Structure 1
Amino acid sequence: MTFNRPSFKKILLCAGLAASFTTFAAEHTVSTKYGNVKVNDEVKRVVTLSEDALDSAIALGFKPLAAVATRGGDSVAEYIQDRVGNISIVGTSRQNNLEAIVAQRPDLILASATLSQDQYNILSKIAPTVVPKSPGIVTGSWETIAHVYADALNKTDEMDVILADIEKRASALKNKITTKLPQNERSATLARWMPQGPVVMSSQIFAPDILASVGFEINDAGVVKEGRPHSSPLSLENLSKVDNDWLFLATLNNEGNAALEAAKTSPSFSRLNVVKENHVMTVNGQLWTSAAGPLAAHAILDTIETVIDKKMN
């Protein structure tokens, strides 16, 4: 991630003006990637610089002033748009606009776990900036990160309840799925269709994590390198690598949709057993391959439940 930024002196001046609006109140300390950060117990003006930060904040009852655009779009992800209202967009997952961030006069910035030290040093001059310590691309990492955002917002108990509700819902859905689908019919892959071909998503990222929690056996075909979120694009000839019992197929934008529609006409695609069984489920890539957080978890569970009800009844 980089910054679209004016001169550093101008940023510091604006940051100083923004800080002058901060209300003195009790503080608590949050353990972050870059050390302990003191945060006002009653923050009001929150800016989120990652999709999972926005999700967690909304789930906890906050309405952030600004966010970054989702991958492949110019606003927040579709699943959360009706919850944020006329939110300001202050960058993308790759580039933030410092001047736009300062203009929001934040008293807390919730940043991505991948934010660099240099970028943190600048943002922290604007407002207390929380960068979660990420365990990396491992199962359950999204919950760890959600807890950090909740701690920053002084809502840890509330997040515990929210995550427990998700676990309870997933367990009920797992019982439903495992009753209807024998174990040898539950292998699944999540792939994102790009104009240059499909990329297989790691079994360790957010959406496959949710799929696994309801009983699917996630197979990333062994094509995803360790520590990476997805594979390199596969050729149509290598599509057999994702020929499992179920294929959840995501697209991010119109170009991806067009490429997928073209691929469906190819013999390589139509020969897949998962296609013949009509177990290819097209899903929203903004949600399934970009988002994370409690609200995204519920949205994915909604999709899974709809799929199972439609295919199994």
Structure 2
Amino acid sequence: MTSRRSLVLFALPLTLLTLAVPAFAREVTHVMGVTTVPDQPLRVVALTNEATEDLLALGITPVGAVRSANANPWFDHVAAQLAETEVVGEELAPNLELILSLEPDLILGNKKRHEKIYEQLSAIAPTVYVENITGQWRDNLAFYAEALGKSAEGEAVLQAYQDRVAAMKAALGDRVGEKVGLIRFIAGQNYAYNNDSFSGSILRDIGFGRPAAQDKPGLAEPIGPERIPELESDRLLHFSYEVGDGGATKEAQTWMASPLWQSLQAVKTAHVYGVSDTVWATAGGVMAAHLALDDIEKIYEIESTR
């Protein structure tokens, strides 16, 4: 059966594309191919939480963006700036009709999330993708800046982050050699986060060591309570993805009451810290990276490098 969405997306695109070809345009090479985009796109739609906050960091408010994960509708750290932005569905299920209605001149997506709808999005407006959302967030930011014609601004944003990391390293001194572990609680399955996760990349940038079981490539891996000793570290950060039923909180409470958890050196020295899941796992962009650095400053009681 042909839906109204199908009719809209197949009846209008040729006209839209004909009208949307800008007088000044350039080609952008990305993971899905080569796309002609406007030199200065004004109506941008972001299909990931990462792209949304990176746009804001580059001085662009998207006309449309997918709802912030597990938020209503936006993460606290971006809500004020997105007051006029239209919610265009979920990161894993963008609403194509809403996107079409916004008449965007550029769409930023992600192959891992949106590969199957690339042709439909491209029929609405020039669409460019990054490959994934993990510890490669710096590369993704640089790509978004290029697609927006704001490479210089992107370089400045990344340099500000790198300068701050350098200042933190200096302030930490010998403590930068400490091992820092990461555990994420989710109802039904918990995860240890490795070096290629967003949170792992922040720790790696600073220069911290990692527990041996987490000091390896990859995003994350499931971890059961019998593997709690693998979390042995100088400092241990934990965050919970809570969907409202309290399951993640119960997981954390159960683990923290166990003898294996209580035997960890970080627990014995009171070096275990609960941090925001939004900041350390879900948001994924440069604004969240700075918030993660804020947490490190508080944990290590060093002067702000903002």
Q: Which TM-score band applies after superposition, normalised by the shorter structure?
A: 0.7 to 0.9
Secondary structure of the structure 1 residue equivalent to 2:301: helix
TM-score with structure 2 setting the length: 0.87
Classify 1:23/1:242 alpha carbon distance in 2 versus 1 (closer, same or farther; 3 Å): same
Give the equivalent residue in structure 2 for 1:230: 220
Give the number of equivalent residue pairs.
297
Structure 1: distance between partners of 2:88 and 2:8? 17
Aligned positions of 1:109-148 closer than 5 A: 109-133=107-131, 141-148=136-143
Cα deviation, residue 216, structure 1:
1.2
Distance 1:21 1:264, change over 3 A: farther
Q: For structure 1, which runs of at least 5 residues remain unmatched after alignment?
A: none
Aligned positions of 1:200-215 closer than 5 A:
200-215=192-207
After alignment, is 125-134 or 168-177 more displaced? 125-134
- Which residue in the other structure is 1:156 paired with? 151
Query: Could you tell me which amino acid in structure 1 is paired with residue 36 of structure 2?
Result: K
Query: How many Å separate the matches in 2 of 1:91 and 1:60?
Result: 23
User: Tell me, what secondary structure is at the counterpart of 1:203?
Assistant: coil
> Aligned to 1:44, what secondary structure does the other structure show?
coil
1:239–1:6 distance in 2 versus 1, CA, 3 Å: farther
1:296 aligns with 2:288: yes
The change in CA–CA distance for 1:220 and 1:120 in structure 2 (over 3 A counts) is farther
Distance in 1 separating the partners of 2:214 and 2:21? 52
CA distance in 2, matches of 1:13, 1:298: 44
Partner of 1:175: 170
> Structure 2 regions of 5+ residues with no counterpart?
none
AA of the residue aligned to 1:159 = G
Which aligned segments of 4 or more residues in structure 1 are displaced greater than 6 angstroms? Answer: none
Residues in 1 aligned to 2:34 and 2:48: alpha-carbon distance in whole angstroms: 20
Cα distance in 2 between the residues matched to 1:11 and 1:198: 40
Deviations 1:67-105 (A, max 9, x none): 123333342333322322243222223222111211221
Aligned to 2:186: 194
Cα-Cα RMSD: 2.5
Cα offset for 1:240? 1.1
Q: 2:277: which partner in 1? A: 285
Query: Who is 2:97 aligned against?
Result: 99
C-alpha distance in 2 between matches for 1:282 and 1:17: 52
Closer, same or farther in 2 for the Cα pair 1:69/1:201, shift >3 Å?
A: farther
TM-score when normalising by structure 1 = 0.85
Between 1:235-244 and 1:266-275, the stretch displaced more is: 266-275
Secondary structure at the counterpart of residue 124 of structure 2: coil
Give the Å deviation of 1:62. Answer: 0.3
Distance 2:164 2:198 in 1: 16
Matched to 1:235, the amino acid is G
Q: State the 1:242 CA deviation.
A: 0.9
Give me the whole-angstrom Cα distance separating, in 2, the residues matched to 1:269 and 1:86.
45
Q: Select 1:72's aligned residue among 70, 73, 92.
A: 70
